[in-house]
Copies of this chain bind each other. A is one copy, B any other.
Amino acid sequence: MPLQHPKSSEKKIVVIIGGGFAGFNAAKSLANKKEVHVILIDRRNHHLFQPLLYQVATAGLNPSDIAVPIRARFAKAENVEIHMGAVEKINLSEKFISTDHGDLAYDYLIVATGAQHSYFANPEWEEYAPGLKTLEQATEIRRRILSAFEEAENEIDPVKQKSLLNFVVVGAGPTGVELAGAIADIARTVLVKDFNHINPASARVLLVEAGPKILASFNEKLSQRAYRDLQELGVEIRLSSRVEKIDENGVTVAGEFIPSRSVFWAAGVQASRMSFTPEVAKDRAGRVIVRKDFSIENHPDTFVIGDMAHFELSQNNLLPGLAPAAIQAGKFVANVVLQSINGQVRSSFKYLDKGQMATIGKRKAIAQYNSLRMTGVIAWLAWLFVHVLYLIGFKNRISVMAEWTWSYIFSKRGARLITSRDWKLQK
């Protein structure tokens, strides 16, 4: 039985599923618009600045530095309601969704549930190779990295000790490159003086990539420069190397077994799962194929945006899975909803390419924006500027700047905590 929201009987109900870049910005654009009552649903209570997750995973930033409570951001928007909950099904024909706390009818629906890691046909690898999409995963990776050094310090067997200091990152997209660079950096600068029985700088950091180059979405020259910068940091790169097996002892890459307790997964992304009635057209990565206004064929009031959407900019040229693209789509779709309510013609989406960037270790980066390319320290400063600027919330920006300034000057990390999964008394 669809649950119609009583408050909003005179307004159109817009349900947004997902509080990531796409859904969060759609909601922001609809805040305080008199035509609509917005219900934003997310499984988590926070909006996450995903591009900096690797900093949490490597003890550079606190979880709360890159996350804001969604509810707090909409406290002043009377027409926006936040539900913390999970959506199980979308019924397009009857226009309602089923959540874990009841059904909800909508006039307009915006689906922005994002993407998650894919272990291809090997879901059992997850236990030994966590991905980096959530705060929980980031603190788990942090726990594993810091614990590996602690265990190596206590290990008497030199072979085991050495294997504890092998770190393997699978996938050389921006996340994999940034994670590998940060691990190399933490070992060689932050931890280097803290141990008695091991030399943290001797840690091996391997970056494994199935394709023929790293950062494949970047310009060829930038990719090569990043390759050299990473090597200089001490990261060993294995190109055209497919992972064949991961278990508690290590990882097998192109026939070679690498003993490691610290394998991290930054390869393979698939759209999050969602059940539609009737079923909708999806591409091979599970993304919903959408029209020029992000609506689903035959369902003009249902939109899919962000990493969940397959949107063709032109033939064989998809809208990329980047934060700026998701933000633009969110704002655009919010406007389309208002146009539709007001009987106006729907505008069509124009993507403004804001380029892309990736950091390599502490002081280098690569960045491209149209024909402009930057490398080294200049690119890193640009990266710093853009990321701090984008970080939502007055307080977070200052706190992140303070955190970074401090860790840059003193080569320290503020969030070097090993917290366990279990909170109960250890007797």
CB atoms of A139 and B419 under 8 A apart: yes
Closest to A399 in B: B402
CB atoms of A423 and B136 under 8 A apart: yes
Closest to A143 in B: B423
Per-position 1/0 for A146-178, Cβ under 8 A of B: 110011011110000000000000000000000
B residues in contact with A335, CB < 8 Å? none
A216 interface residue per 8 A CB criterion: no
A406 interface residue per 8 A CB criterion: yes
Question: What is the bound-complex CA distance between A74 and B193, given in angstroms?
Answer: 9
B residues in contact with A133, CB < 8 Å? 425
Closest to A3 in B: B156
A374 interface residue per 8 A CB criterion: no
Segment from A17-25, A62-70, A241-249, A353-361 that makes contact with B: A62-70
The residue that A45 contacts in the complex, of B83, B131, B146, B399, with Cβ under 8 A, is B146
CB atoms of B69 and A419 under 8 A apart: no
A46 interface residue per 8 A CB criterion: yes
Per-position 1/0 for A390-423, Cβ under 8 A of B: 0000010011001100100010101111111111
B residues in contact with A402, CB < 8 Å? 398-399, 402
Contacts A416-B45, A416-B69, A427-B273: A156 and B421 contacting too (C-beta < 8 A)? no
CB atoms of B418 and A64 under 8 A apart: no
The residue that A417 contacts in the complex, of B67, B101, B146, B421, with Cβ under 8 A, is B67
Question: What is the bound-complex CA distance between A136 and B137, given in angstroms?
Answer: 16
How many chain A residues sit at the interface, stated as a range, is: 35 or more
Question: What is the bound-complex CA distance between A72 and B200, given in angstroms?
Answer: 13
Per-position 1/0 for A10-21, Cβ under 8 A of B: 000000000000
Contacts A71-B194, A423-B139: A418 and B83 contacting too (C-beta < 8 A)? no
A9 interface residue per 8 A CB criterion: no
Closest to A86 in B: B426
A196 interface residue per 8 A CB criterion: yes
Question: What is the bound-complex CA distance between A136 and B140, given in angstroms?
Answer: 13
Q: Which of A83, A196, A421 has the most CB of B within 10 A?
A: A196
- 12 of the cross-chain contacts (CB-CB < 8 Å) are A62-B62, A64-B414, A67-B417, A76-B193, A82-B153, A82-B194, A84-B150, A101-B155, A126-B425, A130-B424, A399-B399, A399-B403
Known: A82-B194, A83-B153, A85-B154. 14 other contacts (CB 8 A): A44-B418, A45-B417, A46-B417, A64-B417, A69-B416, A74-B194, A81-B196, A84-B151, A101-B154, A102-B156, A116-B427, A126-B424, A273-B427, A395-B410
